[in-house]
Amino acid sequence: MNKKWKEGFSLVEVIIVLGVIAVIASIAIPSVSGLIEQAKATKVVTNMRTLQSSIIQYSIYNDDLSSLTYQDLIDEGLLSAEIPDLIITVSTLDRITISYTEDSPDLTKLQKIDSQILGDDTTDPYIEFKVR
C-alpha cells in the first residue's frame, strides 16, 4: 500500500477557521469596547470623589478656601499629584465645584455610575458641594 499523506491543512480548512475567528471577533469586540468606556467613566467618577474627599479633609483644618489649588492639597499630603481633566472652582460661601473637562466619557455614562454628577449639553459634567 503506497498512500501519500500530505501534511498540513487544506486551503478550505484554513478559510473556515478564519471565518470562525472573524465571527467570534465581531461578537467580542463591541462588548470589550463597551467595557473600556465603562472603565473610563468609573475612573473619572472615582477621581472626582477622591478630589472631593481631599477638599473636605483640607477644609477641616483650613478656614480659607477661596484660593484653594491642587498644590495646597498636595502640600497637605491629601493628594499625591494633580488629577488631569478636573478643575476646582471655589465660589462664595465655600461652595466647591469639581468639573470634568474632557468629552469622553459623556455625561450619561458618568451619571449611570453616580447620579449626583450634574451637567447638561452646554456644561461640563460636575459635582458641587458645600464644605461647611
- Segment 70-73 long-range contacts (CB within 8 Å, at least 24 positions apart): none
* Cα dist from 94 to 47, 56, 104, 111, whole Å: 21, 11, 29, 24
Output the pLDDT for position 4: 65
Dump pLDDT digits (tens) for 108-127. 999 999 999 999 888 899 99
Using the predicted structure, report yes or no on whether residue 34 has a pLDDT greater than 90: no
- Residue 105 preceded by cis peptide, ω within 30: yes
Percentage of residues in the chain having pLDDT higher than 70: 95
Instruction: Answer whether 0.95 is exceeded by the pTM.
Output: no
Using the predicted structure, report yes or no on whether residue 35 has a pLDDT greater than 80: yes
Dump pLDDT digits (tens) for 40-92. 999 999 999 999 999 999 999 998 888 899 999 999 999 999 999 999 999 87
Using the predicted structure, report yes or no on whether residue 28 has a pLDDT greater than 90: no
- 62 secondary structure, DSSP code: -
Which H or E run includes 90?
strand 86-91
Q: What is the mean pLDDT of residues 10-23?
A: 93
